[in-house]
């Protein structure tokens, strides 16, 4: 195949693989939570920010962040920020998600992305991986929660820094970081 054809094929593959980039607008969508209730993100219109966080029940990296995710939800809900979890792992059913949320004090909505449609749309690859939207549904930050899985030597609280900037109406200094964790176990299509 000629080089130009390879380049075109690569560009087409990238365009259809899906991913949101900082500055892109999100069209709010609906997914069911672990109790089977449909949750429409439009319900969060009017929030100062919405954090969509791809999480898992079985990933040790995502689990290492459970306390920090619960603390983020607690700390920022009073400031007008909604934290919403999304579980896109094919083998993690809603009963396990509900049990995990209760066990770890995750009191924010956790939605089930059954066919990985949203994970594919976002280009989400790992758990945990976060996406911060402002009140106009513009993606302002994408990446990790912080820079230390164990939580014992955090140098950069990237998600908190992004939220503080959005709440202050300021530009985010670091708009994208590399998220790390377990790969999302996608449904075979």
Distance of CA 111 to the CA centre of its chain: 11
Is residue 50, in this structure, part of any structural domain at all? no
**Structural domain range at position 120:** 60-189
Q: What is the dihedral of CA 141, 96, 32, 56, to 10 degrees?
A: 20
pLDDT in tens, 55-64: 999 999 999 9
Is residue 149, in this structure, part of any structural domain at all? yes
Say how many domains are in the chain: 1
Which CATH number do you get for residue 87?
3.40.30.10
Give the global pTM.
0.89
68-74 mean pLDDT: 98
pLDDT in tens, 137-171: 999 999 999 999 999 999 999 999 999 999 999 99
Is residue 33, in this structure, part of any structural domain at all? no
Among left, alpha and beta (phi > 0; psi -120 to 50; other), residue 180 is beta
Is residue 34, in this structure, part of any structural domain at all? no
């Amino acid at each position: 195949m000629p080089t130009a054809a390879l380049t075109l094929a690569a560009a087409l593959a990238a365009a259809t693989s899906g991913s949101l980039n900082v500055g892109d607008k999100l069209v709010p969508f609906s997914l069911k939570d672990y109790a089977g209730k449909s949750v429409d993100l439009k319900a969060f219109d009017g929030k100062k920010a919405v954090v969509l966080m791809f999480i898992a029940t079985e990933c040790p990296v995502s689990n290492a962040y459970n306390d920090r995710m619960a603390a983020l939800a607690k700390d920022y809900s009073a400031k007008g920020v909604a934290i919403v979890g999304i579980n896109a792992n094919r083998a993690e059913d809603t009963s396990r998600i509900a049990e995990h949320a209760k066990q770890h004090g995750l009191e924010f909505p956790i939605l089930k992305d059954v066919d990985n449609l949203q994970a594919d749309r976002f280009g989400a690859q790992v758990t945990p991986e976060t996406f911060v939207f402002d009140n106009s549904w513009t993606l302002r930050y994408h990446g990790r929660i912080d820079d230390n899985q164990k939580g014992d030597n955090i140098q950069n609280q990237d998600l908190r820094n992004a939220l503080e900037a959005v709440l202050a109406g300021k530009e985010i200094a670091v708009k994208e970081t590399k998220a790390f964790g377990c790969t999302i176990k996608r449904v075979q299509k």
